[in-house]
Structure 1
Amino acid sequence: MLHTPVRAALFALVAAVAPTAFAALDIGDAVPKFTATAALGGKVFSYSLAEALAKGPVVVYFFPAADTADCSIEAHAFAEAIDQFAALGATVIGISADDIDTLAKFSVKSCQSRFPVASDLSKTVIQGFDAVMQTRPDFANRLSYVVTPNGRVAYYYQNLNPDKHVERMLNALRALPRATAAR
């Protein structure tokens, strides 16, 4: 058994070098407003979260890398459900650290030209939303948010498995009070 001072020193050392735990923005937190280079249907444009929120709630979802199996599955699922999001007054934006040329192709192939995807090479937006993958900091974690028109988190879901993100975002939007969902 280690003596108390040795145990305390060992605990302090482990605490100092252990990676910090994942921490998504919490419900009610203000999200960082951002403008980013995005692509929709292969066409590049400037996306503004503030402009999107002026029209209603926004689902902001982060994904690790375009053209990987799970990211393509998730993008396809969002594309297939885009009419359901629109019926709830919401829009969708996907964000990764991929370059815009890669995302322009991804916006056609996997997103089916149904919603935009934004490039965050500097990871400023990814960091602002606490979406950095802790085990691979060059990538975004698979994390989805429902952001209300007042710029606050109504719901979030983090899971590397892409299967439940769309369902959970739709359910969260359905649960929003009508005054919060509409603008």
Structure 2
Amino acid sequence: MNRLIALAVLAATAAATPALADLAVGSKAPDFTAPAYLAGKPFTFNMTAARKKGPVVMYFFPSAYTGGCNLEAHLFSEAADDFKAQGATLIGITAGKVERLAEFSADTATCGGKFPVAADPGAKIAKSYDSPMKMAGIKAPVDLSARTSYVIAPDGTVLLAYDNLKADDHVNQTLGALKAWKAKQKK
């Protein structure tokens, strides 16, 4: 009986495991434009323009207004000033519930207007970053992104690709990689 319970838990955990085929560190990150919102106001996010200002910290999340995604957005919003202090542009990207992104971007329980979120209908941007959600047992692609964070240098080089369904360590991983890169730049 305990073995059946353990197998059921293992199967449920694996059912929504994201793919681990993110862009490799050292590869070139694709440029893109996407409709985005900052504090509820629409604009077009342009990766090329963002990189001209400095490094970009970009995180994909499966869907607005879900438990893990709300937590992750809130944690990034709490650290937004730390990313700015490092000269980085911070952006979240999702294919899920894109019709609610204006609200999500301004909500104090999530982004709090501190960084933009971009819409990725059909997970096209996520797919270009090798970060679409893969679900075990489902042959057709799911049009959501995995929970994957990237740090991208101004020249477009991927400095970090961090893929973890748990939302609580993405800020630490990205901020740590950004600080390490900045320290190397000072030498």
Shift of 1:91: 1.3
CA 1:131 to 1:180, structure 2 compared with 1: closer, same or farther past 3 Å? farther
Q: Does 1:42 align with 2:37?
A: no
**Number of aligned residues:** 162
SS at match of 1:54: helix
Q: Structure 2 CA distance, aligned partners of 1:180 and 1:61?
A: 23
Match in the other structure for 2:7: none
Inter-partner Cα distance in structure 1 for 2:41 and 2:22: 31
Match of 2:170 among 141, 165, 170: 165
Counterpart CA distance in 2 for 1:124 and 1:162 is: 22
| RMSD of aligned residue pairs (Cα, Å) | 1.7
**Pairwise mapping of residues 21-170 of structure 1 onto structure 2 (< 5 A)?**
22-109=20-107, 110-135=110-135, 137-170=142-175
- Percent identity, aligned pairs only, is 45
- SS state at 2:43 partner: strand
CA distance in 2, matches of 1:177, 1:69: 32
Work out whether residues 86 and 182 of structure 2, in 8 Å CA contact, stay in contact via their aligned partners in 1. Answer: no
In the alignment, is the contact (CA less than 8 A) between 1:29 and 1:153 conserved in 2? yes
Gaps of 5+ in 1: 1-20
What amino acid sits opposite 2:116 in the alignment? P
- CA 1:178–1:55: 2 relative to 1, 3 Å: farther
**Is the Cα contact below 8 Å between 1:39 and 1:100 reproduced in 2?**
no
Q: How far off is 1:98 after superposition?
A: 2.9
Choose 44-53 or 135-144, whichever is displaced more: 135-144
Mapped to 2, the partners of 1:154 and 1:50 lie a distance apart of 16
Q: What letter matches 1:33 in structure 2?
A: D
CA distance, structure 2, for counterparts of residue 34 and residue 126 of structure 1: 11
Tell me if the contact between 1:64 and 1:141 (Cα under 8 Å) persists in the aligned partners: yes
Structure 2 distance, partners of 1:59, 1:180, is 17
TM-score (norm 2): 0.82
- Asked if structure 1 preserves the Cα contact closer than 8 Å seen for 2:151 and 2:160, the reply is yes
CA contact (8 A) 2:64 2:98 kept: no
User: How far apart in 1 are the matches of 2:152 and 2:48?
Assistant: 11
Q: What TM-score does the superposition give when structure 1 sets the normalisation length?
A: 0.84
TM-superposed CA distance for 1:164, in Å, is: 0.3
C-alpha deviation, 1:36, in angstroms: 0.2
Instruction: For residue 138 of structure 1, report the CA deviation from its aligned partner.
Output: 2.0
Any stretches of 5+ residues in structure 2 without a counterpart? 1-18, 136-140
Distance 2:182 2:54 in 1: 12
**Residues 148 and 180, structure 1, Cα contact 8 Å, conserved in 2:** no
Rg larger in 1 or in 2?
A: 1
Helix, strand or coil at the partner of 2:92: strand
